[in-house]
């Protein structure tokens, strides 16, 4: 093995990165109606996306299938070698096949194409050669253009797999955006992830209670209300009537709007500046629903009331996402 200096090692690493980036940028030149058509076919699919590829392309195919599935597009990976031994039974007419082959001449994939055509599924191929055997038999070809692999001999799948991965991500995330996929949807498909686990908790598990709830009375001065907002550092304070029932809320936004109207808020009481009947949520609801409400209404907090209308707790956007806990740990 040759002994390289640190400088030479970094030069070689940078050469590889530059070649792969160059190939990605080159592939963009081939973006057009075929890519759009491929996305439209998958978007209108009533079944699943069946991703297939072998070798390094198969590894990329598994990742693309996983990304599609985790972002709301039903997808599986089908090994072409296993397909010819019975696994083609996984493919239905309502599906779409996404085949990955840089050369477009991968024997294992070409052997299953006649069966796929007999089933009647659309075939979308990611290949560098639209005029290849696979390209000519595909419904749509997402072409990468000529590929220069990153190794000195341009033989080892490197740039080709990187470009296929990027194109797969482009397809998956475009579909995700078209479907209006939201954080709560991501949490549903990722219950084991940090965000997913948190969003699948109950509101009662993430809400703040007791002295952590910012609150003033209806008769409090605005100076007292602002002091409470600053003290609890949540961007709002609840306003309670004489029976401790939640009468309203004063937020940072309320203060800005009042000041913009040149209103002397220090001559007013909390009841004069509050927004009545702030939105709430049941403590047994999932945190993901709290997040959905806050995003829909463009607010940052919800109130949890007891059966008498008193504040049992509050849940802030940061409590749901775990940001407050993270900042405290830092």
Q: Which CATH superfamily is domain 6-181 in?
A: Glucose-6-phosphate isomerase like protein; domain 1 (3.40.50.10490)
Cβ neighbours of 198 (radius 10 Å) = 19
Phi, psi of 73 (to 5 degrees): -110, 110
In angstroms, rounded to a whole number, what is the distance separating the alpha carbons of residues 115 and 300? 54
Q: How do residues 212-240 score in pLDDT, each as one tens digit? A: 999 999 999 999 999 999 999 999 999 99
pLDDT value at 105 more than 70: yes
Fold agreement (6-181, 199-329): no
pLDDT at 326 over 50: no
Instruction: Let me know: does 218 contact 239? Beta carbons within 8 Å.
Output: yes
Between 59-73, 222-236, 311-325, the lowest mean confidence (pLDDT) is in 311-325
> Does the pLDDT at position 328 exceed 50?
no
pLDDT bin (cut points 50, 70, 90) of residue 187 is low
User: How does residue 189 score in pLDDT terms, banded at 50, 70 and 90?
Assistant: low
The model's pTM is 0.62
Between these two residues, 322 and 306, which has the higher pLDDT value? 306
pLDDT at residue 98, as a whole number = 98
Query: Does the domain at residues 199-329 carry the CATH identifier 3.40.50.10800?
Result: no
Strands laid side by side in the 96-100 sheet: 75-78, 49-52, 96-100, 123-127, 140-143
Length in residues, the chain: 330
Q: Above 80 in pLDDT, residue 45? A: yes
Domains of the chain, by residue range, sit at 6-181, 199-329
Average pLDDT over residues 280-306: 89
What is the arithmetic mean of pLDDT over 300-311? 94
Averaged pLDDT of the chain = 89
> Which residue would you say has higher pLDDT here, 193 or 165?
165
Query: For residue 132, what are its two tokens?
Result: 């290849």
- 127 with 135: CB under 8 angstroms? yes
> What percent of the chain is predicted at pLDDT more than 90?
69
């Amino acid at each position: 093995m040759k002994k390289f200096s640190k400088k030479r090692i970094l030069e070689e690493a940078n050469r590889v990165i530059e070649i792969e980036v160059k190939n990605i940028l080159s592939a963009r030149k081939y973006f057009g109606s075929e890519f759009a058509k491929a996305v439209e076919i998958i978007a209108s699919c009533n079944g699943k996306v069946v991703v297939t590829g072998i070798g390094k392309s198969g590894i990329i195919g598994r990742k693309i299938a996983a990304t599609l599935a985790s972002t709301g597009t039903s997808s599986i990976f089908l090994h072409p070698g296993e397909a010819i031994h019975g696994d083609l039974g996984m493919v239905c007419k309502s599906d779409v096949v996404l085949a990955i082959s840089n050369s477009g001449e991968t024997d294992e994939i070409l052997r299953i194409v006649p069966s796929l055509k007999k089933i009647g599924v659309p075939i979308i191929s990611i290949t560098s050669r639209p005029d290849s055997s696979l390209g000519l038999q595909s419904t749509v070809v997402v072409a990468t253009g000529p590929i220069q692999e990153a190794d000195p001999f341009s033989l080892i799948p490197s740039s080709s797999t990187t470009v296929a991965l990027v194109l797969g991500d482009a397809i998956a995330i475009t579909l995700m955006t078209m479907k209006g996929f939201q954080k709560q949807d991501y949490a549903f498909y990722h219950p084991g992830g940090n965000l997913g686990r948190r969003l699948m908790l109950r509101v009662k598990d993430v809400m703040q209670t007791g002295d952590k709830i910012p609150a003033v009375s209806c008769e409090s001065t605005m100076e007292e209300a602002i002091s409470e907002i600053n003290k609890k550092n949540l961007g709002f304070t609840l306003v309670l009537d004489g029976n401790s029932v939640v009468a309203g809320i004063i937020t940072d936004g309320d203060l800005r709007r009042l000041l913009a109207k040149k209103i002397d808020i220090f001559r007013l009481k909390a009841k004069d500046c509050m927004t009545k009947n702030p939105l709430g949520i049941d403590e047994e609801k999932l945190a993901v629903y709290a997040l959905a409400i806050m995003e829909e209404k463009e607010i940052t907090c919800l109130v949890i009331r007891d059966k008498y209308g008193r504040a049992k707790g509050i849940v802030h956007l940061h409590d749901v996402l775990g940001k407050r806990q993270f900042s405290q740990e830092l």
